[in-house]
């Protein structure tokens, strides 16, 4: 599954493109895998479409037929008209002159016996008010960016000699770049706005992060504090560590924001320090779902307090249960009516716990 890993790598690299807070994007990722065992006719082909961080469509060649599949609940409600249009778009993008198949990055590897991956990412971004912000069109080969269309100048940008040869070839037909420009600035934006409207319950929601700071001992002199955020949407988040009010860029270790598996995201940032310096550090979290930035410190007291309260609660519960048990036992030995047992004992136990609380207070 080497090419699958490569695919994920490229996907991760491409989704890193900065999105402004409150902006929305629609992106398509095309992948073609070629190799000696696959043969030219049986190349593995796949397109996945995303609105922001959510996949909504998948298109692939499966045993000779082409399949368009919905991948999000809100897109399943789309009209047959929409599906016809979408399938036509996905098929055309395979066959137009600028398709991935027609773009050959000639690195003289045609008979090296290896598997090669061609990728294309394209899409558009809109401002929170719905107007066009920018577009993306990039081609990659074996996991590396090769060629892209600059959104400002609408000029091809090549990253090496092979890509430069392609760029020169593409520039002989100016209408190609122009056609892409029309699609990316107009059609793409219209479709994106339609998706945001139809899927607004899911796409325009903001789930604020749940957060926690934990302490881990690394050696007999050092500890690290880990600031974790999870359960948030959209994926855009900022987690930084401050020491005496200053950001600790050098000493902070991050993980990439990753999907939590339930449509939300997770991330952490950790910072290492000598023992007993913990209170100098503050974790600062910013997310669209938070009304204001959240600052957190490691609090040794709160965890032991929590444990203490837990023990009290457990003792109380046990006491209540004993009281309730005695009451029920008394009632049943006094011979109350069977049908009312459950009800009376419930009321009794509620009173019992009230009694125990007042007794304690």
Ligand X SMILES: *[C@@H]1O[C@H](CO)[C@@H](O)[C@H](O)[C@H]1NC(C)=O
**Interface residue list for ligand X (CB under 6 A):** 32, 43, 45, 61, 64, 66, 101, 107-108, 127, 129, 131, 162
Instruction: Rank residues 82 and 107 by Cβ distance to ligand X and give the closer one.
Output: 107
Q: How far is the CB of 108 from ligand X (least distance, A)?
A: 4
Residue bearing tokens 């509620």: 350
Closest approach of Cβ 241 to ligand X, in Å? Answer: 31
Minimum distance between the CB of residue 175 and ligand X, rounded to whole angstroms?
24
Backbone phi, psi, residue 27, to 5°: -140, 145
Q: CB-wise, 67 or 321, nearer to ligand X?
A: 67
Residue 165 or 349 having the CB closest to ligand X: 165
Q: By C-beta, is 47 or 54 nearer to ligand X?
A: 47
361 Cβ contact list (under 8 Å, min separation 6) = none
**How far apart are CB 198 and ligand X at their closest, in Å?**
22
**Shortest Å, Cβ 318 to ligand X:** 60
**Residue 127 or 275 having the CB closest to ligand X:** 127
Residue 120 CB, nearest approach to ligand X (Å): 12
Question: What is the rounded distance in angstroms from the CA atom of residue 283 to the CA atom of residue 228?
Answer: 9
Beta carbon nearer to ligand X, 95 or 221: 95
Please report how close the Cβ of residue 102 comes to ligand X at its closest, in angstroms: 11
The full 3-state SS of the chain, as one line of letters, equals CHHHHHHHHHHHHHHCCCCCCCCEEEEEEEEEEECCCCCCCCCEEEEEEEECCEEEEEEEEECCEEEEEECCHHHHCCCHHHHHHHHHHHHHHHHCCCCCCCCCCCCCCCCCCCCEEEEEEEEEEECCCCCEEEEEEEEEECCEEEEEECCCCCCEEECCHHHHHHHHHHHCCHHHHHHHHHHHHHHHHHHHHHHHHHCHHHHCCCECCEEEEEEEECCCCEEEEEEEEEEEECCCCEEEEEECCEECCCCEEECCCEECCCCCEEEEEEEEEECCCHHHEEEEEECCCCCCCEEECCCHHHHHHHHHHHHHHHHHHHHHHHHHHHHHHHHHHHCCCHHHHHHHHHHHHHHHHHHHHHHHC
- Nearer residue to ligand X within complex by CB, 66 or 305: 66
Smallest separation (angstroms) from ligand X to the CB of 45: 4
Q: How far is the CB of 146 from ligand X (least distance, A)?
A: 12
The nearer residue to ligand X, 130 or 325, going by C-beta atoms, is 130
Chain centroid to Cα 304, Å, comes to 34
* Spatial separation of the C-alpha atoms in residues 168 and 164, rounded to whole Å: 6
Q: Which is nearer to ligand X, 129 or 333 (CB)?
A: 129
């Amino acid at each position: 599954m080497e090419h699958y890993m490569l695919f994920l790598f490229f996907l991760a690299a491409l989704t890193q493109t900065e999105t402004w807070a409150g902006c929305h994007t629609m992106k398509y990722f095309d992948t073609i895998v070629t190799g000696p065992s696959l043969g030219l006719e049986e190349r593995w082909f796949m397109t996945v479409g995303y609105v922001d961080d959510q996949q909504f469509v998948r298109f692939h060649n499966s045993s000779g037929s082409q399949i368009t599949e919905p991948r999000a609940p809100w897109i399943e409600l789309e009209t047959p008209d929409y599906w016809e249009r979408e399938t036509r778009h996905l098929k055309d993008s395979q066959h137009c002159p600028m398709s991935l198949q027609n773009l050959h990055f000639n690195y003289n590897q045609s008979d090296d016996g290896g598997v090669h991956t061609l990728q294309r990412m394209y899409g558009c971004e809109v401002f929170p008010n719905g107007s066009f912000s920018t577009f993306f069109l990039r081609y990659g080969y074996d996991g590396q960016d090769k060629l892209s269309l600059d959104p400002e100048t609408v000029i091809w940008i090549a990253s090496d000699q092979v890509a430069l040869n392609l760029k020169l070839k593409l520039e002989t037909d100016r209408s190609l770049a122009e056609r892409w420009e029309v699609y990316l600035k107009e059609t793409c934006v219209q479709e994106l706005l339609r998706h945001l409207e139809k899927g607004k319950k899911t796409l325009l929601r903001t789930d604020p992060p749940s957060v926690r700071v934990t302490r881990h001992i690394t050696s007999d002199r050092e500890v690290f504090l880990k600031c974790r955020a999870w359960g948030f949407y959209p994926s855009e988040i900022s987690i930084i560590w401050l020491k005496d009010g200053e950001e600790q860029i050098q000493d902070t270790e991050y993980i990439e924001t990753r999907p939590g598996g339930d449509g939300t995201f997770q991330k952490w940032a950790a910072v290492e320090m000598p023992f007993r310096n913990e209170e100098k550090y503050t974790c600062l979290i910013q997310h669209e779902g938070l009304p204001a930035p959240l600052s957190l410190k490691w609090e040794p007291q709160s965890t032991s307090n929590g444990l203490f309260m837990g023990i009290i609660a457990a003792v109380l519960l046990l006491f209540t249960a004993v009281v309730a048990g005695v009451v029920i036992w008394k009632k049943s030995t006094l011979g109350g009516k069977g049908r009312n047992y459950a009800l009376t004992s419930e009321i009794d136990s509620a009173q019992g716990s009230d009694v125990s609380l007042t007794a304690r207070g």
